[in-house]
Chains A and B, each alone.
Chain A
Amino acid sequence: MRSMLKASVAALATVVALTGPASAELTGDLRINLDTSNPAPRATMEAMIARFQAANPALNITTTVIDREAYKTQIRNFLSADAPDVLTWYAANRMRPYVEAGLLEDVSDMWADGTTIANELASTKGAMTIDGKQWGVPYTYYQWGIYYRKDIYEELGLSEPANFDEMLSNCEAMIASGRKCYTIGTKWLWTASGWFDYLNMRTHGFDFHMSMARGEVEWTDPRVRETFENWGKLVRMGAFVDDHQNKDWQQSLPFLVNGEAGAILKGNFAVAPLRDAGLTDDQLDFHQFPMITEGVAMAEDAPTDTFHIAAGAQNKDNARAFLAFVASAAEQTEINNGSNLGQLPVNATSSIDDDKFLKEGFAMLSSNSPGGVAQFFDRDFPAEMAKAAMEGMQEFMVFPDNLDEILERLEEVRQDVY
């Protein structure tokens, strides 16, 4: 039974997802640790686990839900002291410390060429890969991009910018009308790094951005400076709202809602509060961050949440079956729909909700992001580097003339960190 399971995990996924318990019943235990502590995602996850339980009635599933923030500090602890079988976490560099400490199970077998997972989840294979091996499966992600006030753009006769020059000229028109181009709240720093991600990936491309993340590029490199200079053009013309360093991202939304700013660079999670605030889908629209350097392939930020198997797990076969279940198109469709997570399924054969922004995001990520999919600055860069860099970026957005000093400081940090 067990060896058969191991041999045909991919086939099993289909069996479990489509035909139910009849042919492949799992027995024994399965311990799952979740960080989805907020009410809605929690209900989603619990419902998904209940479906897995229904498909495998003989399986004894124990679920532990840990507060999302506390989870981040506890993960190392429980992985080494009291390993669950399955756990939630994040892709790319965020899983690197645990991979390097040997705390996560290598699941490359599930990603082998020709398996369902390899075919259907190809867009995130890179994000799940460290040292040529895969260490988990993704269950959801969401797009980043520019959410803008279509009604204001139309009023000023502007259209979605196709390149950086149009972006700047749009912005000039916006400023001339007494508005700001972009709202942002950099109090918690990460919002600024979203701008850096895009400006850097559009100026020099995904591969350059990732080699920076790996610490292979000096921060004082002229190419990095070029990215910051593009950013500086926006900062110096007054594109961003004033006093952004004192606002969190939610406090930056009123500018967009009240028409004092035209757009925001943000993840898809901004849509819900903007709709709550009364913006209709006719007023709010989405476009991909425009091209800056011609010929550089478009790449996107799409933070990915994942499931992993602990290296110390007791029930790895059951855990693999669960991961395959999570990766299946049917489950990904279900857990990502509007009444659940309201995000994008990673499985390319999943269907998505009839939601304007999810559709645009799904189309963008599956067909218009040839350069690659990044995880977001603070997930791609090591924590210490990210912290120092994000502080520098916030400073740059307030005092663009301090650039030299900031870059030199960041270069010192880079030499310490890597």
Chain B
Amino acid sequence: MFPKPIEKSSRQWQIGYQVLLPFAMLLWLAPLIAVALFSIRPDADFSTGNYWGIPSSFEFFTNYGQVINSAMPRYILNSFMITLPTMVGAVALSCMTGFALGVYKFRGNLLIFFMFIAGNFIPFQILMVPVRDLTLDMGLYNTKTGLVLFHIAFQTGFCTLFMRNFIRALPFELIEAARVEGIAEWRIFWYVVLPLMRPAIAALCVLIFTFIWNDYFWAIVLTTGENAQPVTAGITSFNAQFRAMYHLMSAGSLIAALPPVIIFFLLQRHFIAGLTLGAVK
């Protein structure tokens, strides 16, 4: 099942592997390299068809300068103001739902749990029209609050699944021991369970951060203006009426991609843990 470590294969295989690897990586990274290259090209290169050659002039400072002087910082700020509250809200709620569903045995426990999960099985595209109408009726259309509330509601399903399973795997004896001591239930949650959930919370935070940061669909459905739109949707504002400004969009995308990348490297351990936590019990 698992791939055999390359050191254990024959010499020819090893050489073949080492020769092929750089090419495979180049191929794999080609779109990203293209974006990076595009971001330092002058506009004229796109009209002369110079997509892959040497840029006819080096426009790193011009392009990135233009990006920084545009509405981009505003959009990035919006992204943070949408992503961070969503992350906190969804994780906080799911800690509590996960605790309730994982610790207490009551009638309908499984049913409620399934309802949380069921949300994940609905293709979110079919929610587009009702959710838009709902936010409009609530006066939350084209606001950051609207987007945050929707994201929290929608992400809590997945987070609850994650948290509930994690709490289930904790040694139940700890909770029983605390109960024997006569500690209030909310104190058990706060002082016993929550500290044990730290790795799960960290992992979930990283996951949710990247999910929400990269969300494009809801950003264009629920927001329209500079005042609320996150960077994923705002990036097209570089386009002129008739022309796509590939160089500026590339530069903008690279800047927009930085926060999740930074977060990933800072919390890499948790990220991988998060992906495997639910899988291996």
In the bound complex, what is the Cα–Cα distance between A57 and B135 (angstroms)?
A: 37
**Main SS class of interface, B:** loop
B240 (CB) vs chain A CBs: closest residue:
A38
Which of A102-110, A215-223, A274-282 faces chain B?
A274-282
Minimum CB–CB distance from B51 to chain A (whole Å) comes to 9
In the bound complex, what is the Cα–Cα distance between A254 and B56 (angstroms)?
A: 14
A41 lies within 8 A of B48 (CB)? no
**Residues of chain A within 8 A of B224, CB atoms compared:** 66-67, 70, 74
Check if B244 is an interface residue, CB within 8 A of chain A. yes
A274 lies within 8 A of B47 (CB)? yes
Indicate with 1 or 0, residue by residue over B42-79, a CB within 8 angstroms of chain A CB atoms: 01101111100000000000000000001000000000
Check if A258 is an interface residue, CB within 8 A of chain B. yes
Interface size class of A (residues with CB under 8 A): 20 to 34
Most buried by A among B44, B49, B236: B49
Neighbour of A40 across the interface among B220, B240, B244, CB < 8 A:
B240
Query: Which residues of B in the span 202-228 have a Cβ within 8 Å of any Cβ on A?
Result: 220, 224-225
Minimum CB–CB distance from A69 to chain B (whole Å) comes to 8
Contact A258:B244 (CB < 8 A) given known A276-B43, A277-B44: no
Check if A353 is an interface residue, CB within 8 A of chain B. no
A258 (CB) vs chain B CBs: closest residue:
B49
Minimum CB–CB distance from A147 to chain B (whole Å) comes to 13
Contact A257:B48 (CB < 8 A) given known A37-B237, A38-B239, A38-B241: yes
Check if B2 is an interface residue, CB within 8 A of chain A. no
In the bound complex, what is the Cα–Cα distance between A68 and B258 (angstroms)?
A: 27
A-B contact count (CB 8 A): 61
**Residues of chain A within 8 A of B242, CB atoms compared:** 267, 269
Contact A276:B47 (CB < 8 A) given known A67-B224, A248-B244, A269-B242: yes
**Residues of chain A within 8 A of B47, CB atoms compared:** 250, 253-254, 257, 273-274, 276-277
In the bound complex, what is the Cα–Cα distance between A272 and B245 (angstroms)?
A: 13
**Residues of chain A within 8 A of B220, CB atoms compared:** 70
Check if B198 is an interface residue, CB within 8 A of chain A. no
B237 lies within 8 A of A269 (CB)? no
Check if A39 is an interface residue, CB within 8 A of chain B. yes
Check if B243 is an interface residue, CB within 8 A of chain A. yes
Indicate with 1 or 0, residue by residue over B238-281, a CB within 8 angstroms of chain A CB atoms: 01111110000000000000000000000000000000000000
B241 lies within 8 A of A41 (CB)? yes
Minimum CB–CB distance from B69 to chain A (whole Å) comes to 10
A250 lies within 8 A of B240 (CB)? no
B48 lies within 8 A of A67 (CB)? no
Closest 9 CB pairs of A and B: A254-B49, A277-B47, A269-B242, A70-B224, A273-B47, A276-B44, A277-B48, A253-B47, A277-B44
| Interchain residue pairs with CB less than 8 A apart (17) | A38-B239, A38-B241, A66-B225, A68-B241, A74-B224, A77-B136, A250-B243, A250-B244, A251-B49, A254-B49, A257-B48, A269-B243, A272-B243, A273-B46, A274-B47, A276-B43, A277-B47
A interface residue numbers (CB < 8 A to B):
37-41, 65-70, 74, 77, 248, 250-251, 253-255, 257-258, 267, 269, 272-274, 276-278
Q: A38-B239, A253-B47, A257-B49 are in contact. List 18 more A-B contacts (CB 8 A).
A: A37-B237, A38-B237, A66-B225, A67-B225, A67-B236, A69-B236, A70-B220, A77-B136, A250-B47, A253-B49, A254-B47, A254-B49, A255-B49, A269-B241, A273-B43, A273-B243, A276-B44, A277-B48
